């Protein structure tokens, strides 16, 4: 059984995005932490981007895996 690469990558992006999003939410009020990024909570926004990418990759990988298994 071959595993489609999108499935573990999707889980990796979801895990990393969840960690960054939680850290961004926990430090949302700390303005001194985000002065280098012009006051933008980069951890929160990039965490949400990584979550979205992971959530897009996961169903495509699972769909491809089902197609391989059915052959």
Does 1 fall in a domain? no
What's the rounded mean pLDDT across residues 21-48? 91
What is the arithmetic mean of pLDDT over 23-49? 91
- Indicate whether this model's pTM tops 0.75: yes
Q: Is residue 50 part of a domain?
A: yes
Domain that holds residue 54: 6-70
Q: Is 58 a domain residue?
A: yes
> What pLDDT, on the 0 to 100 scale, is given for residue 1?
56
- Phi/psi region, residue 4 (left: phi>0; alpha: psi -120 to 50; beta: rest), is beta
More confident residue, 9 or 64: 9
DSSP structure class, residue 40: -
Number of domains in the chain: 1
Look at residue 47 and tell me if it is in a domain.
yes
> Which has more confidence, 8 or 31?
8
**Residue 31 maps to a domain:** yes
**Has residue 21 been placed in a domain?**
yes
Within-domain flag for 36: yes
């Amino acid at each position: 059984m071959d595993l489609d690469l999108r499935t573990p990558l999707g889980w990796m992006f979801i895990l990393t995005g969840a960690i960054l999003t939680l850290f961004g939410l926990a430090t949302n009020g700390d303005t001194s932490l985000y002065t280098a990024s012009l006051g933008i909570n980069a951890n929160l926004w990039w965490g949400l981007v990584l979550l979205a990418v992971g959530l897009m990759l996961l169903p495509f990988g699972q769909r491809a895996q089902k197609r391989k298994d059915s052959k």
